[in-house]
Every structure is written in C-alpha cells, then in structure tokens.
C-alpha cells in the first residue's frame, strides 16, 4: 500500500534562520494544486556489524537496562542493585545498563545553555555523559554492600566504539573483552548507558533515549540470551497509557511493528535500539522496574500475534517539524541532510518540490543545510502525527478506510497521509492529536482483551 496526500500549503515567508525565530513559521498559506506522483518512505538508519569475535554464545548472560525514572533516587538505585543481585544469584552472568537519575540529562542540557546559547557539541557530550556514570557507580556501590562483586564502566571502558558525530553518534564496534573478563571474575558489570568513545578517542553520546541502544548493542555483542528493558510502565501498550488509560499491554509485538511504533512516537523504546535488536535478533523484554509481572516481548513475527489482533497500536508524535523545499534535487538535499546526521522521517516528493519531516531537535542542523543549499524553503511546527500500526493490515484491506472515517467523524482532516505496508500515518493539527489517538484506539477496539495478543 502506498498512499500519500498533502492538504494545506505550508506557511511561507522568510526562512527561520533569516528571520531569527527559534521555531517554525506561523500562519497558514494558500491551498495548493493537487499533488500527483508522490512517494512516501520511512528511513531507518543502517546498523553496523558488531565485533564477531566477541559475539560467540555465552549462555546465561542477561543484559538488564534501567531507565531514568527507575534510578531516580537512592532508594530506587538500591532496588536496581537488588534486582541485579537476584539475577546473579539465579545463576546468570549479569550486565546492568543504567540511565541518568530522573531528569538529570535535561538538567545538564539546561545548565549548558546557561553557559552558551549553542553549546559546543564536544563539550556537551563531556557534560551529559556524566549523568549515566553517576548512576552506574552508585549501583555498583550498593551491590558491593550486598556482598557481591561489581564493577562500573563508562561506555568507553565497556568497549563501545562510535563514529565522531557528537550528540547522536552511531556505534561502529563493540569490543566485549573487558566485560567478559569481569563476568568471568564473577562480577556484576554496570555500564553507563547512552555513551561511547569515538574513533578519534572522544567521548560521544548516542542520542536521547540512547541507553536502550547501549543495552541492545551489548546484548548482541556479548551473545546474551535476552535484553530486559526495565521502565516506568509495564510494557508496550496499544497506545501511550498516559493518554489512553484503557490501553492494553501487548504480550508480544514483532520487530517490524515495534520499529514502526518507535519511529512514529512510542517513546518506550528508542528507535535505533529496535533496529539494532531486529538486525541482530536480540530478544527484548520490556517490563516494569516496579513489579514482577511479565511485560512485552519484542521478537520475530508470529502468526499468533496476528490471529488475535491485526493492529498493535496507535502512536503519536508532537516533536517533529515539517519542511517544504524547492529548488534543489532530492538526491543532493538528502545527501546533505544525511551528512549532517539529520534523522529524516516522512518524505513526499511531487515534481520539484520535496516535503520532509525531522525531529525538532534537528532543527538547527536542517536550517544550516537548507541555508547552505540556497533553496527556497519553509517550515511549520504546528502539526503532530497520529499513526495506526499493525502487521495484520498487510492482509486486511479496510484499515485505511476505517482510520479516515474515524478522523472524519471527529472533524479532523489530515494534512499529509503516508503509509508503509504496516502503518498509516496522518499529520494533523497538533491540538487534535490526543483526541485522534483516543478515537482511533476505540475504533480499532484496542481497549478489548483480544488486543493484548496473550498467547496463553
């Protein structure tokens, strides 16, 4: 299924850089001529091979990752230590990956901005990588106090080698020898998430939410049985449970579905970590750090998933900017954006005009590229995106019709529609997003028990 449509014209005027505004241009423009011959894609990042020599099977290795809320204060850090000790006492070789405590990363960013309007990226990585180091040293201390051996490692010490892109570096190699040696010495190993060392020996970070990627990359490199992602919800739900209280926890979701869900806004797993897990067949178990119930398994597609419910969830995003560009070929434009490490999502090309979306956090990079190319462009940040995702829609026509009918009943008109074989995404007014999520969630009966895809 390939479908796309563009509604209202993007607002026009001075490019943001020239106008000196911090975000997209306001106001609405004229209705465009109908669009024909469009192409819609979702781009995923290429994933490097991990060091083959370290990837041999080490039975009984488990990587357990704990997010910011799960390590927010000393009591929670002690709880994490206890979980890691319990896993060790159950006979596993245990690697813990921890995020920075609570909002530490945001606070460090805010601190940096008090020093500089646009902090130097190398220095910013030196600063924000500290948050994760604090957590892992504290957890190691708590484990040692419980009579176990433990060792905390920075990303660099753990052998995570990246390219040289500060702020969103890509992993190019994982050297697992030091971790294996510590595990062989009966230690529980703690690794600071979200960071590595570049091929130029600089500290780098892996992008927001990057501790998930640290955990998955280590699980792949160490040949771990599974990677457990402990977080502040009980698993992956049919929608963000903070917006849809009746959302159901999914028992299982396929890599492809999780990729689409993460790409379209389900923040529970970082997109790049899911991509890495799929490419290296790392079994992921997303679960609560505050209880013992089974969470959500992210694995290969299984017929049982689709028998129960063809839609896995409704996702949303509010942190994307949409750009409309004319006067530069798509090949050159996307080559330049890729060179600037911009994470482009939706792309729609019609004649000489290209429309694409990118995270708000990449806005300065996109602006710099467009200014350098000297093309005419405009942007808007008043749109959000709501998506319906499910592997079952490959073989069930009518999902798009139901999605559009539901939005129509709510009086919501999509501005752009893009699809993949397992996703329908609609850019709509940001203020309508929550209503649209709830409406679609109900329309596809995701509040019913069958939506959980329970195998039992």
Task: Give me the residues that bind ligand ADP (CB under 6 A), please.
Answer: 67-70, 99, 209, 231-233, 236-237, 239-242, 266-268, 313
Q: From residue 109 to residue 138, what is the string marking binding to ligand ASP with x (rule CB under 6 A)?
A: ----------------------x-------
Q: What are phi and psi of 344, to 5 degrees?
A: -75, 135
User: What are the tokens at 325?
Assistant: 């560009």
Strands of 296-299's sheet in order across: 149-153, 187-192, 93-98, 61-66, 226-231, 284-288, 296-299, 252-254
Judged by beta carbon distances under 5 to 8 A according to partner kind, the member of ligand ADP, ligand ASP, Mg ion, none in contact with residue 131 is ligand ASP
By CB under 6 A, residue 267 contacts ligand ASP: no
The CA-atom distances, in angstroms, between 53 and each of 50, 57, 172, 282 are 9, 10, 15, 17
Least separation in angstroms between residue 387's CB and ligand ADP is 11
Least separation in angstroms between residue 214's CB and ligand ASP is 8
Among 69, 92, 105, 315, which residue interacts with ligand ASP (rule: CB under 6 A)?
A: 105
Of the candidate spans 204-212, 260-268, 287-295, 331-339, the one that interacts with ligand ASP by CB under 6 A turns out to be 204-212
By CB under 6 A, residue 193 contacts ligand ASP: yes
User: How many other C-beta atoms are found inside a 10 Å radius of the C-beta of residue 336?
Assistant: 17
Nearest 5 degrees, angle CA 387-CA 318-CA 117?
Answer: 150
Question: Burial of 164 by CB count in 10 Å (0-12 exposed, 13-18 middle, 19+ buried)?
Answer: middle
Least separation in angstroms between residue 194's CB and Mg ion is 10
Least separation in angstroms between residue 226's CB and ligand ASP is 19
By CB under 5 A, residue 359 contacts Mg ion: no
Q: CA-CA distance, 55 to 49, in Å (whole number)?
A: 10
Contact at 8 Å (CB) between 264 and 318? no
Judged by beta carbon distances under 5 to 8 A according to partner kind, the member of ligand ADP, ligand ASP, Mg ion, none in contact with residue 334 is none
By CB under 6 A, residue 394 contacts ligand ASP: no
Which residues is 428 bridged to in the sheet? Answer: 384
Range 175-234, binding Mg ion (CB under 5 A): 209
Helix orientation angle between 211-222 and 177-184, rounded to the nearest 10 degrees? 70
Strands 195-198 and 160-162: what pairing? parallel
Of the candidate spans 70-78, 202-210, 216-224, 443-451, the one that interacts with ligand ASP by CB under 6 A turns out to be 202-210
Cβ-closest position to Mg ion: 209
User: What are the tokens at 137?
Assistant: 């040293």
By CB under 6 A, residue 194 contacts ligand ASP: yes
Write out the residues near ligand ASP by the rule CB under 6 A: 67-68, 99-100, 105, 131, 193-194, 208-212
């Amino acid at each position: 299924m390939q479908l796309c449509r563009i509604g209202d014209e993007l607002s026009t005027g001075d490019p943001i850089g020239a106008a000196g505004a911090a975000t997209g241009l306001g106001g609405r423009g004229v209705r465009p001529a109908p669009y024909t011959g469009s192409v819609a894609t979702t781009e995923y990042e290429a994933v490097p091979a991990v060091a083959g020599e370290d990837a041999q099977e080490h039975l009984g290795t488990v990587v357990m990752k704990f997010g910011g809320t799960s390590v927010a204060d000393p009591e929670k850090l002690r709880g994490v230590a206890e979980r890691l000790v319990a896993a060790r006492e159950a006979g596993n070789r245990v690697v813990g990956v921890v995020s920075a405590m609570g909002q530490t990363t945001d606070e460090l960013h805010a601190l940096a901005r008090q020093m500089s309007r646009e902090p130097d990226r190398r220095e910013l990585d030196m600063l924000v990588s500290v948050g994760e180091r604090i957590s892992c040293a504290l957890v190691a201390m708590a484990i040692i106090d419980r009579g176990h051996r433990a060792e905390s490692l920075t990303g660099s010490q753990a052998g995570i080698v990246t390219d040289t892109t500060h702020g969103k570096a890509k992993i190019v190699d994982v050297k697992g020898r030091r971790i294996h040696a510590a595990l062989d010495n009966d230690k529980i190993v703690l690794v600071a998430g979200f960071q590595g060392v570049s091929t130029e020996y600089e500290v780098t970070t892996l992008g927001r939410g990057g501790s998930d990627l640290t955990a998955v990359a280590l699980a792949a490199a160490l040949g771990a049985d599974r990677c457990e992602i402990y977080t502040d919800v009980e698993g992956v739900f049919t929608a963000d449970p903070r917006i849809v209280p009746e959302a159901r926890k999914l028992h299982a979701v396929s890599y492809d579905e999780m990729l689409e869900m993460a790409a379209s806004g389900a923040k529970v797993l970082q997109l790049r970590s899911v991509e890495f897990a799929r490419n290296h067949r790392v079994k992921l178990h997303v679960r609560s750090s505050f209880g013992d119930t089974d969470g959500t398994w992210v694995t290969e597609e299984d017929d049982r998933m689709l028998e129960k419910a063809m839609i896995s969830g409704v996702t949303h995003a509010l942190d994307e900017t949409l750009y409309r560009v004319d006067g530069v070929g798509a090949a050159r434009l996307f080559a330049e954006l890729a060179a600037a490490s911009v994470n482009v999502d939706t792309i729609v090309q019609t004649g000489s005009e290209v429309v694409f979306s990118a995270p708000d956090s990449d806005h300065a990079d996109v602006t710099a590229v467009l200014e350098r190319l000297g093309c005419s462009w405009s942007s808007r940040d008043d749109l959000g995106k709501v998506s319906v995702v499910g592997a079952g829609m490959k073989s069930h026509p009518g999902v798009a019709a139901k999605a559009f009918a539901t939005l129509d009943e709510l009086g919501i008109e999509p501005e752009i529609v893009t699809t993949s074989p397992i996703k329908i995404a609609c850019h709509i007014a940001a203020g309508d997003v929550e209503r649209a999520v709830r409406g679609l969630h109900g329309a596809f009966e995701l509040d019913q028990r069958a939506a959980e895809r329970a195998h039992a």
